[in-house]
Amino acid sequence: MRADAAQRREAIITHARHLFAERGGDVALEAVAAASGVGIATLYRNFPSRGDLVHAVVQDIVEQIIHAVDQTRSTLSTDPAAAWKDLLSSLTAMELGALTDGLALQAGAVQDLEATPLAQVQQPAVDALSDLLAELKRRGAVRESLSALDVIVAVATITRPQVSPIRGAAPAVPDQLAEAYLLWSRGQQA
């Protein structure tokens, strides 16, 4: 793929992710194309269906989660509690609520998210986070009962798309909820 084509594709994924986070998973693809600075035909050349675009967005988020986990591993030995806090902050900044919408969009009427096509895409992030949580548990930085899926769902819930007036009126709420979750997950009283 040519460099300019790869840049356009990445721009589409990035803008789709932000629009999914802001407006939900059913945002018009024309809006994604416009925000990306490409025509709708270019969007469809890169992503023949909404499902293909959602898949790419989820894959991008999974790669970012794995990167955040790897970064956390590099600081884990010096201060496990700070490493956990930094990881949670990184995950919160990723707008994981967009991942939730993407999975829901693909799941449709499916009752079990593990039966969706995107379950396999997200599994490497769940596995990487599970391994890291095991180490954090050994170091006493998080509760024993905390699972990777718990963390992903909690952060996705905290960062669920909100309408602009709500985001504008209470912009600090996701960070406040993340801090409360951090304390809970470490077994501390607020």
Q: Has residue 108 got a pLDDT over 60?
A: no
118: confidence class by pLDDT, cuts 50, 70, 90: low
Q: Has residue 11 got a pLDDT over 90?
A: yes
Q: What is the pLDDT of residue 24?
A: 72
Q: What is the pLDDT of residue 189?
A: 44
172/114: higher pLDDT: 172
d(CA 147, CA 133): 7
* Single pTM value for the model: 0.79
d(CA 42, CA 30): 11
- The residue among 50, 77, 74, 56 whose CA lies nearest residue 10 is 56
d(CA 17, CA 24): 9
**Which pair of structure tokens corresponds to residue 106?**
């693909």
> What would the DSSP string read from start to end of 54-92?
HHHHHHHHHHHHHHHHHHHHHHHTT-HHHHHHHHHHHHH
110: confidence class by pLDDT, cuts 50, 70, 90: very low
What are the start-end ranges of the H helices in the chain? 3-23, 29-36, 40-46, 50-76, 80-93, 97-107, 118-138, 148-158, 164-169, 173-185
**Which pair of structure tokens corresponds to residue 176?**
């406040």
- The residue among 38, 37, 40, 17 whose CA lies nearest residue 29 is 40
Q: What is the pLDDT of residue 104?
A: 60
Asked whether 158 and 177 are in contact (CB, 8 A), the reply is yes
- pLDDT tens figures, 60-91: 988 999 999 999 998 899 999 899 989 988 99
188: confidence class by pLDDT, cuts 50, 70, 90: low
Q: What is the pLDDT of residue 139?
A: 92
**Which pair of structure tokens corresponds to residue 88?**
């949670």
Longest CA–CA span in the chain (Å) reads: 53
Q: Tokens 């270019």, residue?
A: 42
